[in-house]
A = this chain, B = another copy of it.
Amino acid sequence: MREIGTEELRYLARGAAILGAGGGGDPYIGRLVAERAVLEHGPVRVAEPHELPDDALVAGVGMIGAPTVMIEKLPAGDEALTAFRMLQRELGRTITHVLPIEVGGMNSLAPFPVAAALGLPVLDADCMGRAFPMVQMVVCTLDGVLAKPLAIADEKGNSIVLDVRDNHWAERLARSAAVRMGCTALLSTFPMSGKQARDITIPGTLTLAARLGRLVEQARREHADPCAAVADFLGGQVLFTGKVVDVLRSADPGFASGEARLEGFAAHDGTSCRLAFQNEHLVAYRDGAVVASVPDLICVLEAGGEPVPTERLRYGQRVTVVGAPCHPRWRTPEGLALVGPSAFGYSHEYVPLGPR
């Protein structure tokens, strides 16, 4: 079983933040928390879903809330472990594998402090293949795996266990709890058997993220364009290159919601771009027309290929917007019903994105 140490965590954090499509938390904070755990307890083993025995007990870990707050109200570091232990206590069985619920700069790394402290392997998989803003937006919902029980912990010593009727209620009740806890908290949920995790989760996304993180470094070394390299690697395209000229943030305490406006440098980019986001980028408009939309990935990168999470967007940044196809599961009718434009209140038709 391969291991992830501090060096690979750097690549993983960067790559996961790119795949997080603007969301999934800050890669720097995610890396610091994971690094501390690995330095204290040693490297973390990574298990592939196909290796899972049927009777393994897998549970997910992740952050919930507004990443805009997380970059100011830092996590204490042990919230995920607290939530995980509460979930285990509720289940009355020992959890054998820790699963990142989504891919993201913070959320791909959130399992590491838990796995390191308890000596458990992290599963090389997740439940989205990217990041989405809400609890129910996971392949688990499509396959009938419930966020039940769901444990949440904050940095102040409060913790909660929810026992909800469905994953939409998990979102409602976990969100309001997270808002009250100060707009961010860590949760643990989606307990599933080894067989379920094998059948349901999206495999290989930790490895994919780490490869993507390395690729950026390599492109830089080779004086290639890291943003174009990312677009190629993901089978997507560069949608826009320009400067952030406005960022509007809404007052919704549960999410990092808002819009960013960009102006182009070059004529072939079109003259303007608008990004609507709710933790993750939801829609990219070029000169007023939709050019990419959830569930496809819209990723904002600095020229050097470093991902810019939506909470870090600010006036004057020079960025490249990359669009990339989502996991095929999200392009099915039931996938689109759960995470497509209409799930976010948009009326536009989803047009699958591919290479240019």
Q: Is A169 an interface residue (CB 8 A)?
A: yes
Chain B residues lying within 8 Å of A180, measured Cβ to Cβ, are: 172-173, 176
Q: Is A228 an interface residue (CB 8 A)?
A: no
Contact B172 A164 (CB under 8 A): no
* Binding-face segment, A154-162, A208-216, A217-225, A283-291: A154-162
Q: Is A353 an interface residue (CB 8 A)?
A: no
Interface size class of A (residues with CB under 8 A): 10 to 19
Contact A173 B161 (CB under 8 A): no
Copies held by the complex = 2
Known: A176-B176, A177-B173, A180-B173. A162 touches B160 (CB 8 A): yes
A169-190 vs B, CB cutoff 8 Å, 1 = contact: the mask equals: 1001100110111000000000
Q: Which of A144-166 contact B (CB under 8 A)?
A: 156-165
Q: How far is the CA of A180 from the CA of B172 in the complex (A)?
A: 7
Known: A173-B181, A176-B177. A165 touches B160 (CB 8 A): no
Among residues of B, the one whose C-beta sits closest to the C-beta of A179 is B176
Contact A162 B158 (CB under 8 A): yes
Question: A interface vs B, CB < 8 Å?
Answer: 86, 156-165, 169, 172-173, 176-177, 179-181
Given contacts A156-B169, A172-B180, A177-B177, 14 further A-B contacts (CB under 8 A): A157-B165, A158-B165, A159-B164, A160-B160, A160-B162, A160-B163, A160-B173, A160-B177, A161-B161, A161-B163, A173-B177, A173-B180, A176-B177, A176-B180
- Give me the 4 closest cross-chain CB pairs, A-B, nearest first: A157-B165, A176-B180, A176-B176, A161-B161
